[in-house]
Amino acid sequence: MFQSFTDRLVASRIGVFSRRHALLLQCILAVLLAPLLARAGLELRLDVSTLNLLLLLPTVLFAARCGFWQASAFAISVALWLTCFFLPPPFLFHLITPHIVIALFVSEVSAFIVSRISQRERSYAAESEMQRHRTQRLHAVSHNVLLLNLQDSPEKQIAEFIQQEFELDAVAIVSNLPHAVGTAGIWAREEEHACEQKLRTLATSPERAAGVSIQPLLSTRGAIGSLLVLGDIPHLVLDSLASLAALALERHRACVNEGTADAARKTEQLRTTVLDGLAHAFKTPLTIIRAASSGLLEAGHLDEMQHQLTQMIDEQSEKLDDMTNRLLETARVEGEAMCLQLETIDVLALIHHVVQEFHADSPDSVSGFSSDTAIKICADGVFTPVSADFDMIASTLHELLNNAAKYSNVGSPITIALTEDPDELTLSVQSYGPVIRMEDRDRIFERFYRGLDHRHAAPGTGIGLSVARRTTEAHGGHIWVTSSEESGTTFHLSLPIRAGALTSTKG
């Protein structure tokens, strides 16, 4: 860093010396040119007024091309040599006469005006050229960031592009999410860990280090990092580079996320295909096993031990068959394209239908459910029919009842409530049992996930609630859970009320 500063100082001093040297040479040239032109006027027998008018032209040219001081040196020299050549006695310098003074004044004023206009135009042209050069560099950086290598660090690549195009001493990009640092220039040659710590401190410190420019990287999500530059760079250019870097980081992350999402989607498709294939492959042998075990039990002629073993085979094969049916249902519900057989449904009639079936099946199939368990239906009034798939909604409600029966306190009631809003019907299943943790209330709807407090409390696969959520979302509704000691655990399922429902009603 010190060596770079020394180089810039030496270069600036050399530049100042060169400008002064050029000014001196131009003044000497003007002084030497004046007597030659005055002598030429004498040889041509021109009068002083005519010669003053003609010599105003090189004065203006000196002012336009070189500057005011060079033009002044020429004008004063011309005035002195005119008194030498044109005023008697010749070849002697005299006091300047009034008409020479007036000519000198006009020349000086003209030189001053022309030099200022010329200087302004040169400054404007230099600024325009500098802006054009900066624009070209910005365009080059923007072109390079569009060609980022997705396999490498985007922070480091962008820092290298900026450092190379603008010939800066060092550039660093500190990213917040994910936490990463990319460096180029002299910072890249420092020890990695120490450099990262120093740059993060600079990026977050309210104080600015000498020679370091810092600009936040802003996106629609707010500040996502900082751009640090060591070197001379205008603030407007730094702001443009920060915007380019922020857009490049956002684009890189979007591409990475899209690739991850695409891989996850393909994995999900493969998983669904495998589940469907396995379920169908298991279905036939399980049916044969159940038929054989049921036939042995019906035929009799078994001793006590044989009867118990055969009954165990029958019970376990029934559970396997139930799991296979769930896998098939999961494969159907979670497929890429879910086909709904929509019809107009009286939801209250559907609830009564599901409760009757649940009472008929549950004593033998639901652990923890007894005939003493009461299922209350709280639904007063007339409810608007909804357009939905009857079998899938019935299966979802059956799953919620099954879940409530497994995890509720023995003998506690299960309540089904139905309410209507202008836009949707909400079906709720309430039970009293262990409270579901806040961090588990979203995750229990994920495939195969079971809460830490309940995974050993009752048998299950963690599939049912994920199927319930997928089914509800396919209908344009939502499913969620609330849980507390006072009000128990309640699963809520909302279904939109669509206009123009079908005319036939099932239930």
Cβ within 8 Å of residue 276, ≥6 positions away: 327, 328, 331, 332
- The phi, psi pair for 216, rounded to 5°, reads -70, 150
pLDDT tens, 300-326? 777 888 888 888 888 888 777 777 776
Instruction: Say which residue, 5 or 30, is predicted with more confidence.
Output: 30
pLDDT higher than 70, residue 499: no
pLDDT band, residue 497 (cuts 50/70/90): confident
Q: What does the pLDDT average to over 150-159?
A: 83
pLDDT for 67 equals 78
**Looking at residue 122, what is its pLDDT?**
81
**Domain extents in the chain:** 2-139, 150-253, 261-333, 343-506
Residue 390's nearest CA partner among 338, 426, 353, 337 is 353
Could you tell me what percent of the chain has a pLDDT over 90?
5
Arithmetic mean of pLDDT, 263-274: 67
CA-to-CA dists, residue 203 to 207, 212, 215, 346, angstroms: 9, 10, 9, 62
Task: Summarize the confidence of residues 70-81 as an average pLDDT.
Answer: 75
- Is the pLDDT reported for residue 13 higher than 60? no
* Prior bond of 89 cis (ω within 30°): yes
Neighbour count for residue 389 (Cβ, 10 Å): 19
**What CATH number does domain 150-253 carry, 3.30.450.40, 3.40.718.10, 3.40.50.2000, 3.30.365.10?**
3.30.450.40
Q: What is the mean pLDDT of residues 75-87?
A: 69
Which tokens is 315 given? 């019970």
Q: What percent of the chain has pLDDT over 70?
A: 74
What pLDDT is stored for residue 8 in this prediction?
Answer: 47
Fold of 343-506: Heat Shock Protein 90 (3.30.565)
- Indicate the fold that domain 261-333 takes in CATH: Helix Hairpins (1.10.287)
Confidence check: pLDDT of 206 > 70: no
- State CA 152 to chain mean position distance: 18
Matching CATH topology for 150-253 and 343-506? no
- How far apart are alpha carbons 214 and 221 in whole angstroms? 20
pLDDT attached to residue 428: 92
Rounded Cα–Cα distance for residues 491 and 430 (Å): 7
- Give the integer Cα–Cα distance in Å for 495 and 476: 7
Among 31-35, 235-239, 383-387, which is the least confidently predicted range? 31-35
Report the pLDDT averaged over residues 88-114.
69
* CB-CB neighbours of 72 under 10 Å: 21
